[in-house]
Amino acid sequence: MPLAQDLAQDFQPAGLPIREYLLVALTTAVLTFLFTGLVRRLAIRWGAVAHPRQRDVHTVPIPRLGGLAMYMGVCGGMLLAHQLPVLRRAFEYTLDPLAVLIGGGLIVLIGMLDDRYELDSITKLAGQTTCAGILVLFGLQWVILWVPWGAEDGLGSRLVLDQNQGALITVLLVVTMVNAMNFVDGLDGLAAGIGLISATATCAFSLNLLKQTGGDVNNYAPALIAATLAGACLGFLPHNFQPAKIFMGDSGSMLLGLMMAAATTSASGRVPDLNQTQTIALLSPLLVVAAVLFVPLLDLLMAIIRRTRKGLSPFHADKMHLHHRLLEIGHSQRRAVLLIYLWAAVLAFGAVALTLFDTFAVVWGMGIGLLVALVISAVPRLRAR
């Protein structure tokens, strides 16, 4: 450790280690791409195959377990980062990457069992909570949070969390993100693309944080987690984009949710003076998923009321997701996925841009981007009229 401290003091990078992070991301992508072919064969032999259901879009059996290939790619990217002198400090000054590897490994194992045997919801929730607890045990938890009340200069206030509060918020965020990513994984390439966009935006925020703190060694971990996640999503997409050869399954969607929550949580503990725009940027992955889920959740609420009146189960599955709505109005699978990518990119990069550029200009840019996305989304219906 003294040697590492001497290196950290002697080495003050003139710029950001963007090349190193890019190398790690690309290595993760290549490894994930290569491992996915092997995992596909394993999934077929093991019987981890998604057979078409009434609410599914695919019409032929597709193997699952894609999350295993993504996790193996992340492990390879982390190993490379550990061998790079600049990025090694992410492991020497924090346990965040190790927490992600252990927690991520366990949640992938749970997801693999679900991909093969379809575990019940209580068992999965218990496993998800355990994985979130692993992150907390390694010290990966929220430390400070901006809240809109307790006005401080009229812009809310910063809430310093004790250990129990930080642990609770972290567990809630992880479980929320894990299940949200599982919920949106309904079209070929959808979850992987949203993960790529959100992870890239989080990495950009973390790199800016690294720049603002003058290369503080404690700020290397969140960017590393986000970079490896982005690489895993990028490497998996060629196999998963429509027509998909393999699904990531619960093993992949839960890994995405955990790593997205871990990256934002890791970054939250490195911001000395968290404000409202930084909080929005940190929570951009959650905002993206919330935006994708808004219409389906509204539909779900109405459907529960409608089914209850008819005496049916309120949780009867149907095609009520946002991507199903886009397909219904005339979009193809690929176009529907690309449209959701556009929505996600506007929200994720817009949220991060709030911390980098003039707020007024960013808000106008986001408004224009969302308007364009809305118009493109409505084109088939407008033509029909």
Q: Determine the Cα–Cα distance for residues 363 and 280; give it in Å rounded to an integer.
A: 13
Q: Determine the Cα–Cα distance for residues 5 and 10; give it in Å rounded to an integer.
A: 9
The H or E element spanning position 351 is helix 333-353
In a domain, 29, yes or no: yes
Q: Which residues contact 11 (CB under 8 A, 6 or more apart)?
A: 85, 86
In a domain, 241, yes or no: yes
Write down the pTM of the prediction: 0.84
Give first-to-last CA distance, the chain, whole Å. 69
3-class secondary-structure state, position 158: strand
Question: Which token pair is 251?
Answer: 């093993």
In a domain, 299, yes or no: no
In a domain, 85, yes or no: yes
In a domain, 168, yes or no: yes
Domain that holds residue 113: 2-283
Closest CA to 246 of 33, 29, 77: 33
**Do residues 112 and 63 touch, judged by C-beta distance below 8 A?**
no
Closest CA to 295 of 339, 252, 253: 339
Tens digits of pLDDT across the chain (385 residues): 444 444 344 334 446 899 999 999 999 999 999 999 999 999 999 988 887 665 555 567 889 899 999 999 999 999 999 999 999 989 988 999 999 999 999 999 999 999 998 888 899 999 999 999 999 999 998 887 777 666 655 566 777 788 888 899 999 989 988 888 887 777 788 889 989 998 998 898 888 888 887 888 878 999 999 999 999 999 999 999 878 899 999 999 999 999 999 998 888 766 666 677 777 777 777 777 666 655 545 555 555 565 566 665 554 544 445 555 666 666 677 887 888 888 888 888 888 888 777 778 888 988 888 788 778 777 665 555 5
In a domain, 300, yes or no: no
In a domain, 334, yes or no: no
In a domain, 353, yes or no: no
The H or E element spanning position 147 is strand 144-147
Q: How many structural domains compose the chain?
A: 1
3-class secondary-structure state, position 342: helix
